[in-house]
Amino acid sequence: MSAIRALIAVLLGTLAACSSTEQSRTGATTRPPSFIVIFCDDLGYGDLGAFGHPTIRTPHLDRMATEGQRWTQFYVAASVCTPSRAGLLTGRLPIRSGLCSSRRRVLFPDSAGGIPDEETTLAEVLRDSGYATAAVGKWHLGHRDSFLPTRHGFDQYFGVPYSNDMDRTSESPRGRIGIVEPKSEYFNVPLIRDLTIVERPAQQETLTRRYTDEAIAFIEREADRPFFLYLAHSMPHVPLFRSDEFVGRSARGYYGDVIEEIDANVGRVLESVRRLGLEKDTIVVFTSDNGPWLSYGDHGGSAGLLRQGKGSTWEGGMRVPTVVWGPGRVAPGVVTELGSTLDLLPTFASLSGAALPAETKLDGHDLTPVLRGTGPSPRTGMFFYRGAEIWAVREGPFKAHFKTRSGYGGEKVQEHDPPLLYHLEHDPGESRNVAKDHPDVIARLQQVVEDHRATVEQVPSQLEIR
């Protein structure tokens, strides 16, 4: 009897393998790739070994960068959480979906808005093409039921719906002390499975590990078919938390412990991909939602040689450390071409054969030629929105700033006419204004902004609804 059962299991396994994975004559698989996006919160450009940090040890990410691509000019759609995430998941600048505002920069626990049903998410694009989909970790695109991931293309969700510093409890010491000496009990943050709160307050010391456990369980369960996993860590957004195993591990202190725990858990994800034999069928993107939160001193990260951080339209706010890994599908190397999280939706659609959302103005480009090492990036520039306004624009090596302000703190808005102009390839730290030498470039960049504005339709801000 057991022999018959074993035979049936083998036959079923073979059928499943045939339906999901076609083997070419060379033995290379031709099935559409699975995608894993590991998205950190407030990780700075200079916070990884592979991006030059001298004391934070990130061996798994460094190996991933050596085996894959290290992108040095990769941007997010905005310098704070909610609009940045909206940009990644829709392939559209958040001004188009209403997931930005100049009055309230992100969604808060008292917000009643979220991602509109009219938006087509990356998860919907891939699920309609037969992918299994999962969101794990921080969401921040609306915490009411109709906005949660399972209503926007994800088969399953496990995570925290907004930032881990929100909804302070009465036990929390006021001011910074509750943030720099944090306890989970200080933040009434819910942990949600699909649509149900399963823990409150979320035990934050365990989040990096538990998110990864959930991610690995999903990969194991869906190994036989293409999948899309969006793993959005709550860390290293302050208040910082790490598990006991990582306390005191890093020479960089508390913040370094947190990054080293993330790195170890990236290693666990890649190990599971390898163990299941999926490394030739999986593309993993590791990046961050915005720059480091500099106003928290030691508890914030570093933008390395870039200027400023989270919340600002300087490079440190929106250029993020990005690694793309996919042995056999991604040509290894250092990529100095331009890319953006806005590009993931069209790129993944292209690689999977999925249809792009119809009649939708996308701001992303298909980066497939760069991933394969066959051609240049179709992305030649970037818009830098602060809230609902364009404060800066990049085209080629030049970036013009029309307004500037640090991400946080009391600095006043400075308006620039003529705009400040930096040559980012010569001067990535934005320290030498070359506006006087290039009036023609400034005129061209101003025209780029005008042309872009003409494509933007006014929609209500979701961040202002309470």
Q: Which residues bind Mg ion (CB under 5 A)?
A: 41-42, 81, 289-290
Give the residue with the Cβ less far from Mg ion, 207 or 273. 207
Q: How far is it, in rounded angstroms, from Cα 113 to Cα 125?
A: 23
Give the residue with the Cβ less far from Mg ion, 40 or 424. 40
Report the nearest approach of Mg ion to the CB of residue 8 (Å): 50
Report the nearest approach of Mg ion to the CB of residue 355 (Å): 31
The closest residue (CB) to Mg ion is 81
- Catalogue the active-site residues: 81, 140
Please state, as a whole number, how many other Cβ atoms lie within 10 Å of the Cβ of residue 432: 10
Report the nearest approach of Mg ion to the CB of residue 289 (Å): 4
Give the residue with the Cβ less far from Mg ion, 85 or 96. 85
Q: Which of 152, 154, 138 is nearest to 210 (CA)?
A: 138
Give the residue with the Cβ less far from Mg ion, 81 or 362. 81
Report the nearest approach of Mg ion to the CB of residue 76 (Å): 9
Strand 389-395's sheet: what is its strand order? 381-386, 389-395, 398-404, 414-423
Q: How far is it, in rounded angstroms, from Cα 87 to Cα 205?
A: 29
| Cβ atoms of residues 255 and 300 within 8 Å | yes
Report the nearest approach of Mg ion to the CB of residue 161 (Å): 14
Give the residue with the Cβ less far from Mg ion, 256 or 291. 291
Report the nearest approach of Mg ion to the CB of residue 186 (Å): 19
Q: Which of 236, 427, 233 is nearest to 314 (CA)?
A: 427
Give the residue with the Cβ less far from Mg ion, 141 or 351. 141
